[in-house]
Chains A and B, each alone.
Chain A
Amino acid sequence: MAQVFWTWVAAFLTLAIFSFLYKDNPFYKFAEHIYVGSSAAFWLVYLWYFDIKPKLIDAWRMNTGLEKYILIIPAILSVFILLRFIRPIAWISRWAIAFTVGMAAGLGITANLQGFLVPQIQATFLPVWVPSHNFWHSLGLSVNNWILVIGTVVTIFYFYFSKEHKGTLGALSRAGIVFIMIAFGASFGYTVMARISLLIGRVYFLIHNWLHIV
């Protein structure tokens, strides 16, 4: 019985969200407000059980010595951020923000170096000729390599800021745009399937779990 009731609730919410496609209406408004309110609470509960409790409370209980007392730093930073509620000393909250921004900057350097820059450049070190069992196969693989290297280089040229895109640079950056557009088109087309799958999931819920037609 409970199962049936809750299935109806789910179906109602599903249809209420879909109704937005026609236009804004009270059903969507209701579902939207329920969603925002309950999800804010959901993530708060989640934060407590998966972040704060294990990383602060449990860590405090389980560790000893330096490992324990160093947790005072994040605790103080947390207090700082909440000082925003007290107008006269609200500016102290910026210290905590400064810490997070410093992290952003530090990681922005290391993560970009390690995660993107070095590996992407390394991956572009490609031979211009790939030996293979027959000539045409070789040629195919080699042409692919040429396109990869040239495409990467001209795309970088598109992002050249300090010179006007005229003459040679203009031609190169235009070639860059050609690659970028092909890439965006392909990426767009590639994603359609995953998105339709989501809709299929919802439609299946409606006709299978709710209406039992299929």
Chain B
Amino acid sequence: MRREVPIAITFFTGVLLVVAFFIPHEPFGSLEQRFNDWYIIVSGFAMILGLDSLLLHHWNKVSRRSQDWFHSLSLILAFFITLFWGFYSGIHTGNFLSAQSTFRKYFYLYVFVPLQATMFSLLAFFIASAAYRAFRADRFEATLLLFSAGIVMLGRVPMGNQVAPWIIGFVLLLFAFLLYSDGRKEVDSLRRALKFGGAILSLLLIYPLAWFFLKYTAATAGWIMNIPQLAAKRGIFIGIALGGIAMSLRIILGIEKTYLR
């Protein structure tokens, strides 16, 4: 009973939804929507489980006076103040976010939105530190990642076109220097010649590439986004879709049942 019933429910629900997908006739036509509504109701009630977990976790900290218990207490207070305020405004004005609601006017706009927006804005810093740290030209693939990120970044902003040639020029100069200093240490004359040749090539490329990027940085960025980026995304999507379908079939057939123990 404990194991078979859930597997049967999963099987039945899953198969029904798949069948309904191919049948516009009622009651199948609106089954997906109906199930979705039910799911929303169930997950709404499940919030009680979550709140029990959250509040008990912090209440235990408070009652045990463990480290940071004061913060746990402020969490609990913040929870109840928000809850009562929200329902109070909701009952008084019909909707907790309505125009006259003090909940909207003060809590939502001056507490909730700033917290959300500031937390979100931390990404600006993290995206910079991640780029600085992770974009290292150590392997061929990583170098590609770095270059396409750099070009798209420069291509997206005004001034990008003007700055890109300098950056390209600098990078090529650096290449030339590295190849030259490597070549000097080389004993094998062929390899030395190759490295010197590479250095000269890098120097020669500076002007044409700088010219190209002065004109076409934004266009190149757009092209990368629209062609190679799209191609890879498509491949990944197809893989994900297949994997998702296979996983779903495994669940329906009862092969995958982690969720049920």
A82-B49 CB under 8 A given contacts A13-B111, A13-B114, A202-B117: yes
Question: Shortest Cβ distance from A156 into chain B, in angstroms?
Answer: 5
Q: Check: B174 CB closer than 8 A to any chain A CB.
A: no
Are the CB atoms of B249 and A109 closer together than 8 Å? Answer: yes
Indicate if the CB atoms of A96 and B152 lie closer than 8 Å: no
- Contact indicator A150/B118 (Cβ below 8 Å): no
Pick the contact of B245: A75, A103, A108, A201 (CB < 8 A): A108
Q: Does the CB pair A181–B141 fall under 8 Å?
A: yes
Report the separation of the CA atoms of residues A176 and B238 in the bound assembly, to the nearest whole angstrom. 13
Q: Considering the complex, give the chain A residue whose CB is closest to the CB of B260.
A: A94
Known A-B contacts A33-B71, A44-B51; the reply to A198 vs B117 at CB < 8 A is yes
CB contacts (< 8 Å) of A6 on chain B: these are 106, 109-110
Task: Choose from B10, B149, B156 the contact partner of A193 (Cβ within 8 Å).
Answer: B156
Q: Is A169's CB within 8 Å of the partner chain B?
A: no
Contact B118 A13 (CB under 8 A): yes
Q: A176–B245 Cα gap in the complex (Å)?
A: 22
Q: Which of B72-80, B161-169, B205-213 contacts A (4 or more CB under 8 A)?
A: B72-80
Name the residue on A nearest B31 (C-beta): A106
A77/B42 in contact, CB under 8 A: yes
A interface, how many residues as a size bin? 35 or more
Residue contact B239 to A108, C-beta cutoff 8 Å: no
Cβ contact within 8 Å between A7 and B110: yes
Minimum CB–CB distance for B56 against chain A, Å: 11
Does A63 sit within 8 A of B, measured CB to CB? no
The reply on A39 being an interface residue by CB < 8 A is yes
A198 CB to closest chain B CB (Å) equals 4
- Do residues A81 and B232 form an inter-chain contact, with CB atoms below 8 A? no
Choose one: B7, B87, B141, B152; the contact of A177 (CB below 8 Å): B141
- Chain B positions 143-196 with a Cβ under 8 Å from a chain A Cβ: 144-153, 156-157
A113 at the interface (CB under 8 A from B): yes
In-complex Cβ contact of A186 among B16, B72, B225 (8 A): B225
Contact A148–B230 (Cβ < 8 Å): yes
Q: Is A129 an interface residue (CB 8 A)?
A: no
| B242:A95 contact, CB within 8 angstroms | no
Cα–Cα distance between A201 and B72 once the two chains are bound (Å): 30
Pick from B43, B87, B142, B231: contact of A151, CB below 8 A: B231
Whether B138 sits at the interface, judged by CB under 8 Å, is no
Task: Produce 1/0 per residue, B215-254, CB < 8 A to A.
Answer: 0000001001111111111111111111111011101100
Q: Given contacts A91-B2, A188-B149, is CB(A152)–CB(B231) below 8 Å?
A: yes
Evaluate contact between A196 and B124: CB separation under 8 angstroms: yes
Cβ contacts under 8 Å, B140 to chain A: 178
A108-129: CB near B (< 8 Å → 1, else 0) gives 1110111111001101100000
Q: Nearest residue in A to B126 (C-beta to C-beta)?
A: A195
Known contacts A105-B252, A109-B18: does B41 contact A52 (CB below 8 Å)?
yes
- B63 on the interface (CB 8 Å rule)? no
A155 to B249, CA, bound (A): 24
Residue contacts A-B, CB under 8 angstroms, 23 given: A7-B110, A9-B110, A10-B110, A29-B68, A33-B78, A37-B78, A38-B115, A39-B115, A42-B112, A52-B44, A56-B41, A81-B49, A91-B2, A105-B249, A108-B247, A112-B245, A154-B235, A155-B239, A181-B145, A182-B232, A183-B233, A185-B148, A189-B152
Q: Give me 8 other A-B pairs in contact (C-beta within 8 A), A114-B21, A155-B232, A202-B118 excluded.
A: A35-B115, A48-B90, A95-B6, A110-B32, A179-B232, A182-B144, A184-B145, A205-B117
